[in-house]
Structure 1
């Protein structure tokens, strides 16, 4: 699974670094069309996670995930066929839906395989994915430097190839590794007994978790725009933000995951996330009137703090999404939980560009304070829900039951 994630994210890194320029220079779309297309596609992508969760309650995860990669491959191959906006819009929208579905299925697959050691697996997974993103971005840089139509087609081909290879690698995973299809009684219980849409406590967790994902938009949208519009730091500093993020995630993810293993640890470190993000926002607010060197140092420090917050959030969010869900309906619940990231990707950039940045330093301080308050509220809500779970909650079966589960898979 880790190898498949690395390959997939390598292709995604290629496309992510080159897609906007492809639409601008190869498809000849103007900026307004690109913005509308990406915005609509982002909203469509929200449906990918719950759709995958619903299907995962009925079918085996392995062919579902492999099929998801193949669908993405087929849709991507339509890109060079036409440059018309009416054609590109549904193509990009389906790609976003497929990406959301694939991420959710990977999450559920890893949960089934890793069991109570899912935090460690999550750390390894994020390290593999970030290494793939970094390699993909590097390959994209070469293609963009060439800048010809053939170079852009080659980049699309790399992404398509990554989907095909990832599908093959997923298909080759042995069925008894823990991702086997659940027995029919378990599937029937998941569908008939529990619905995440009627579980107010879990929906509250997802509601709080959505703004807790804002570190992603802050790093990729807010920080670069703040640099170019309100500070004296050189524009060439922007690529360093993603470089810091990639290096720190690969280097520190395993250590951070050890601090959040288990639902109670994951709950306690939520406060750390809020305080770390608040500090990063305060640093960004403070560099407005600083000189080039001081502004550069401050923004690099902010990028480091945002990455540390991301490390904490990524582990605690996943651990709690699994732990707070009833075991018999985990697929459907994780499908709903996966919407938090998709919603944030759609709402986060407009929030930053339309509200936070126009308010200046006050906007950053208000955002940091709001997220810190939400992290405290999230912690209290999670503690209340965990207190209602049985001694060996849905995420932590007893040793005897776990042994029996392993015997069934083998």
Structure 2
């Protein structure tokens, strides 16, 4: 599954950075039409997380993931073969659903196969995914130097083939054990003591709501920093892509070492306090960057990008552990699927939150960082009583991959 993460994100890196250009110059869509495609993918993708997790509690996980990867490959065909807008909308919807489902399913696989070592496993998986994204992005940049329609189609075809490869590799992965399915002979039976599910679990739903806020670091890196640089005008615009590179390099270099700090549930919960500090410092650095000289502002923005990247890595570690520790073993798929809604929701509210901070100015960034820091404290208190009586944990299991 680690190889699958690398292949998947390499393909995504090929396509994500050029999709808007492809729809503009090759397909000939208007700005409004492109925006509708993106909105459709995002809206349908919201259902992908909970539905994917629910299916994985009822059917073999590797088979569900194979179907999702195959659907993602299928979604790329209309983009290559037609410019009919209705078909493009349907393909975007299928792609959005498949993207969000696959993320939850690969995470659930890591949870089941790695057991108590799940945080480190997912840190390695995330590091490989970021490396794949960087490789794909560099390949896309090289291909676009040709500036031809063929180059764009080559990148899209590469993305589609990556999904085919992921689907085939998934078939070679052993099925991890699942607490939600017991096997007697060849018949799967659902345990009679299945919990009512995450939708009636108020503590978990509140936890997911706080997670939506903590995921806002993504919007800062992808939207907030570039727009703030353009808005303030006191640093070169070329700094924006360099900060994105810095983010990627730091994640690749530090995600695995930092994951050791949250290897247990107690340690992961304790990380919420340094996580709060990182968010607060990042917001303060963004605010101060508007008041200094070019050199000072540049240094502060580098500091802000570093702080928010540190927050991103710490939160990933905390989230990997707590989202599983708060879920009963017999319904991990359903619970992690609902947890995936936090990232989906952040994709909608994140850009609005950072643009509101930008519009308000330095005070807005200070409030932004402080607000997320306080949410960390709220989450720390929220999960305390639940973790005092944790659900059954998954025993460590070793599964060979071919």
Identify the TM-score tier after normalising by the shorter chain. over 0.9
CA shift, 1:272, in A, is 1.5
**Alignment of 1:253 onto 2:225:** no
Matched with 1:98 is 98
CA shift, 1:29, in A, is 2.2
What is the alpha-carbon distance in structure 1 between the residues aligned to residue 29 and residue 394 of structure 2?
51
Structure 1 gap ranges (5+): none
Matched with 1:153 is 153
What is the alpha-carbon distance in structure 1 between the residues aligned to residue 93 and residue 299 of structure 2?
39
What is the alpha-carbon distance in structure 1 between the residues aligned to residue 304 and residue 202 of structure 2?
35
Matched with 1:309 is 311
1:112 counterpart SS class: helix
Structure 2 gap ranges (5+): none
Matches within 5 A, 1:122-271: 122-175=122-175, 178=177, 182-184=181-183, 188-189=190-191, 192-271=194-273
Q: Deviations over 1:230-283 (max 9, x none)?
A: 131111111112211111111111111000111111111112212101111111
Matched with 2:392 is 394
Matched with 1:364 is 365
What is the alpha-carbon distance in structure 2 between the residues aligned to residue 178 and residue 130 of structure 1?
28
CA shift, 1:137, in A, is 0.5
Matched with 1:89 is 89
Matched with 2:339 is 337
CA shift, 1:180, in A, is 10
Matched with 1:321 is 323
What is the alpha-carbon distance in structure 1 between the residues aligned to residue 91 and residue 131 of structure 2?
27
Matched with 1:289 is 291
1:146 counterpart SS class: coil
Q: Is the 8 A contact 1:14 1:140 kept in 2?
A: yes
Q: Deviations over 1:258-316 (max 9, x none)?
A: 00111111111112212101111111111113232222222122111111110000111
CA shift, 1:184, in A, is 4.7
Q: Is the 8 A contact 2:194 2:330 kept in 1?
A: no
CA shift, 1:89, in A, is 2.2
**Alignment of 1:73 onto 2:73:** yes
Q: Is the 8 A contact 1:57 1:190 kept in 2?
A: no
The alignment's C-alpha RMSD in Å is 2.0
Shift of the 132–58 alpha-carbon distance from structure 1 to 2, 3 Å rule, reads same
What is the alpha-carbon distance in structure 1 between the residues aligned to residue 115 and residue 41 of structure 2?
33
What is the alpha-carbon distance in structure 2 between the residues aligned to residue 16 and residue 291 of structure 1?
35
Q: Is the 8 A contact 1:39 1:346 kept in 2?
A: no
Q: Is the 8 A contact 1:119 1:315 kept in 2?
A: yes
Q: Is the 8 A contact 2:4 2:170 kept in 1?
A: yes
Q: Deviations over 1:199-230 (max 9, x none)?
A: 11111111111111000011000111000111
With normalisation by structure 2, the TM-score equals: 0.94
What is the alpha-carbon distance in structure 2 between the residues aligned to residue 199 and residue 134 of structure 1?
38
2:278 counterpart SS class: helix
Q: Which moved more, 1:182-191 or 1:301-310?
A: 182-191
Q: Which moved more, 1:76-85 or 1:297-306?
A: 76-85
2:17 counterpart SS class: helix
CA shift, 1:349, in A, is 1.1
Matched with 2:57 is 57
What is the alpha-carbon distance in structure 1 between the residues aligned to residue 24 and residue 179 of structure 2?
44
2:191 counterpart SS class: helix
- Give 1 or 2: higher helix fraction: 1
What is the alpha-carbon distance in structure 2 between the residues aligned to residue 190 and residue 92 of structure 1?
39
What is the alpha-carbon distance in structure 2 between the residues aligned to residue 191 and residue 329 of structure 1?
11
CA shift, 1:187, in A, is 5.5
How many residues are aligned here? 396
Matched with 1:112 is 112
Q: Is the 8 A contact 2:179 2:330 kept in 1?
A: no
Q: Is the 8 A contact 1:245 1:304 kept in 2?
A: yes
CA shift, 1:33, in A, is 2.7
Shift of the 17–190 alpha-carbon distance from structure 1 to 2, 3 Å rule, reads farther
Q: Is the 8 A contact 1:72 1:95 kept in 2?
A: yes
With normalisation by structure 1, the TM-score equals: 0.92
What is the alpha-carbon distance in structure 2 between the residues aligned to residue 95 and residue 352 of structure 1?
26
What is the alpha-carbon distance in structure 2 between the residues aligned to residue 297 and residue 36 of structure 1?
38
2:190 counterpart SS class: helix
